[in-house]
Every structure is written in structure tokens, then in C-alpha cells.
Amino acid sequence: MLQFLVRRLLQAVGVLAVMSLLVFVGVFAIGNPVDVMIDPAASEAERQAAIVALGLDQPMWRQYLTFVGNALQGDMGKSFVYNQSASELILSRLPATFELAVMAMLIAVAIGLPMGLWAGLKPGSWADRLLMTISIFMFSLPTFWVGLLLIMGFAVTLGWLPSGGRGETRELFGVPFAFLTWDGFQHLLLPAFNLALFKLALVLRMVRGGVREQMTSDYVAFARAKGVSETRIVFKHVLRNIMLPVITVMGLEFGNILAFAVVTESIYAWPGMGKLLINAITVLDRPVIVAYLMITVFIFIVINLIVDLTYTLLDPRVRTGGAK
């Protein structure tokens, strides 16, 4: 296990180093922040002073080395717009995105698991065909379009749920969360459900496929021959065996939700990291863009490591150190 952790940590350092270069070069190439941030009516002296103050007068390689040196000390630069630490600015928005992602995953698993189990136990039935058709729509429909439909239906027409914002929050260990208040929970439901649709369809299909495969295996036939009840076979044996790949994939998908909730957060004006990224791109706030992408890469690395360790704990047959 120790060898596995050391190897993964070394891989993580390499990934972060390569991604930092790619991200910095990519962000450097998308435009000049000076053209967006400085008033066109400003004099040339004022313009040059602003360029020097922001460090944009240096060549790209020097800016990159400065960024790496500061990042190793925990400083990813200061936002051009907000004039505060870019990493602190993003981390202040992380609880909102994390809360939204967790709620979306809970909805996906809570609905997708029983639906997939039902479809897998009744292959070829009308329920199976109906659920598979619904899952295709969930995979295919654009997130922004579904989000607008949900707002029109549940917020505008029915008036059951608010159309945007985070609502009232309450602090837990010094961190504000919306789900702790009824108003915040209502604000959380629509964006979380919108974000959960794709993952729900994925869980449904994975569980259905796993159940259909396991129900034809030898151990199920042997259990039936011993007189074990169908309920015990499904929930004690089959479900436990199919949950391993589901947990693995859902762990990785959780990282996707955290990183790519940009569209949903924009539609519902949810004050998370994605909304901050959109605002930063609009004004070419380079430190915020780079810090967001680097923090996202780090989150993916941590989630991958947790998924690998969880896989090992759930299935002792897996050898993280490699078998000879």
C-alpha cells in the first residue's frame, strides 16, 4: 500500500507540473487582459503603469516561472478584478459547488439505482424499454435547455421552487451551506436535479447491465438451488457485486460535476466556482482562470486516489502494488 501511495503521489506531481505549463500557455494565448480591463480613454502612461503593476510587461516564460515559484508557496496570484488572492477567491466558492455536486450525486444514485435494478430484473418488459428510452433522452438533451425547461415549469408556471440564487444559508463548522435551511434547500433542488440527469441515466444503465449479467451467473443458480429467496439473492449478493464498478465510476463522475458545473451554475445564478470562472473569462482575469484550472486538476487527482483506495478496500483481491 505504501509503495502504491508513493507512486501515485509522484504521478500527481508530474501531472500538476505538465498541466500548469499547458494551462498557463493556453490562458496566455487567449487574449490580452489589458484590452478588456483598462479604459480605452486612458493615457499611454496610465496604460503602461497598469501593465507593469499587473506584471504583464514580462515575457511569458518569466511570468510562468514567477507563477510556479509563487504557487509552490501557496500563492497562485492576485485577481486582476477583485484584487485578492485567486486561490482564496475560488476556495470561498468551493462549498457552494461542492454542495450542489453532492446533492446531484445523491439524486442520481437514489433514483437511478432502484430504476436500474427494476429494469435489470425485468429484461424486455415494458418497464425496461421505457426506462431505457428515458435514459437515452437524459443522455442526449442539452443541460442548458433542460435547465430552462425546469425553470419555466417549476419556477415560472407552477411557482413551486425559486428560479435562481442560493437562498438563505447557515454555517456548519464556519462554512455556509444552503441545505441547512428550508429556503436554501428549495433553491438547491432545481440546479441539483438538472445536474443529476446525466449521472442518473449513467447509474440506471450500469445497474441494469450489471444485474442482467449477474442474474445469469453460476452463483445465482447455485443459491436458487439451495432455496435462498430471490430477495436475498438480489440485495445481498447481486447488488453487492454490481456496486463496485458503480462506486468507481460515480467517484470519477463526482469530479466531473465539481469541475464542469459551469453551465448549470450560470443558468441558476448559483454562486459557485463555475459562475466565478465564467465571470473571469469574460474579463480575462488570468490568475483566477489559472488558479481554477489548477485547483480542478488537484481535485481530480485526489478523487482518483480516493476511488482507487476505495476499490481496494471493497475488493481485497485487487493488489495495488502489482502482483507477480
Quote the percentage of the chain above a pLDDT of 90. 9
3-class SS string, 223-278: HHHCCCCHHHHHHHHHHHHHHHHHHHHHHHHHHHHHHCCHHHHHHCCCCCHHHHHH
Q: Which of 178-182, 261-265, 301-305 has the highest mean pLDDT?
A: 178-182
* Residue range(s) defining the domain that contains residue 55: 2-71
Place of cell 488570468: 286
Per-residue pLDDT band for 40 (boundaries 50, 70, 90) equals low
pLDDT in tens, 303-313: 877 877 777 67
Q: How far apart are CA 253 and CA 206, in angstroms?
A: 13
The answer on pLDDT for 322 being more than 60 is no
321 is a domain residue: no
81 is a domain residue: no
Give pTM, 2 decimals: 0.79
Do 56 and 109 reside in the same domain of the chain? no
Do 61 and 162 reside in the same domain of the chain? no
Q: What is the mean pLDDT of residues 36-40?
A: 66
Domain count, the chain: 2
pLDDT in tens, 108-126: 999 989 998 888 888 888 8
Do 94 and 62 reside in the same domain of the chain? no
pLDDT in tens, 190-205: 999 998 888 898 999 8
Do 29 and 158 reside in the same domain of the chain? no
The answer on pLDDT for 321 being more than 60 is no
Do 20 and 140 reside in the same domain of the chain? no
77 is a domain residue: no
Per-residue pLDDT band for 45 (boundaries 50, 70, 90) equals confident
- Can you give the pLDDT at residue 19? 83
The CA-based dihedral angle spanning residues 197, 143, 88, 51, taken in that order and rounded to the nearest 10 degrees: 160
Per-residue pLDDT band for 65 (boundaries 50, 70, 90) equals confident
